[in-house]
Amino acid sequence: MMKAVPILKDDFFMVQRSGMIPGTFELRELKTEVIRKAIHFLIALSPSMAAISRPFTMILLMMGTLVYTYMEIARLSGVEIPFISSLTNMASRSRDRGHFVLGPVTLGIGSSLALLLYPDPAASIGIYALAFGDGFASLVGKMFGRFRPAFLLGKSIEGSAACFTAVFFTSYQVSYDYKTALLAAVSTTVVEALPLNDYDNLVIPLVVGLVVHLAGL
């Protein structure tokens, strides 16, 4: 009789290695990832807002980060905040259950730092790389990722290809320069493949913004 194999990580690759048949776990984790990335994509609004008022956008991002931090601490203390606590629970990966969900914090800080450190269009490209590159990499990797060579450190070729494509397209729409779009796409794909967990929300906009800025934009 087969023994049940405990699931240690929120990753289809680990499920496949354990020999488990894809089922309820995968559907639940995929639903969680869709909710997470729907929130993730919203950060793409910040460049448009910054075009109207960069100081106001930065203040809004930091206030949102502080308010979320307070509510998350309250949730972990047993205080249920209507809608917010439920949304956080739905968007929590297995590794986050019972812990502080850090993603929205690093998302807000990473975008704020990009706006603070880099002029446009470098800041916008860095934030779009975070929103769409990281977002589509995760979704496509979860849904279709099958080929996971060692050099991608557990990430899938399908997810990395989606990351590259999304960043190249959005960067070109901002810069109208193929070289800039290529640099942004390559740098995002490399950083996204690193095992940074939620800290990629900090690293991606900073690295991509710096690369694009040094390229002359």
Question: Do the domain assignments include residue 15?
Answer: no
Q: How many helices (H) and strands (E) does the chain have?
A: 11, 0
Question: Do the domain assignments include residue 10?
Answer: no
Q: Residues 120-146: pLDDT tens digits?
A: 999 999 999 999 999 999 889 888 878
pLDDT classification of 217: cutoffs 50, 70, 90:
low
Question: Do the domain assignments include residue 151?
Answer: yes
For 190, the domain range is 29-214
Question: Do the domain assignments include residue 4?
Answer: no
- Which among 53, 70, 54, 59 is positioned nearest to 105, based on CA atoms? 70
Token duo for residue 158: 């399908």
Token duo for residue 79: 């205080």
Would the pLDDT of 11 be above 60? no
Distance CA 64, CA 70 (A): 10
pTM of the predicted structure, to 2 decimals = 0.80
Helices (H), 10-83: 12-18, 24-41, 46-52, 54-76
Q: What percent of the chain has pLDDT over 90?
A: 51
Would the pLDDT of 117 be above 70? yes
Question: Do the domain assignments include residue 22?
Answer: no
- Which among 50, 70, 68, 69 is positioned nearest to 59, based on CA atoms? 50
Specify which of 2-6, 39-43, 51-55 reaches the highest per-range mean pLDDT: 51-55
Q: Structurally, how many domains does the chain consist of?
A: 1
Q: In 10 A of CB 182, how many CB atoms?
A: 16
- Which among 177, 194, 178, 184 is positioned nearest to 128, based on CA atoms? 184
Using only C-alpha atoms, the chain has a radius of gyration, in whole angstroms, of 18
Question: Do the domain assignments include residue 196?
Answer: yes
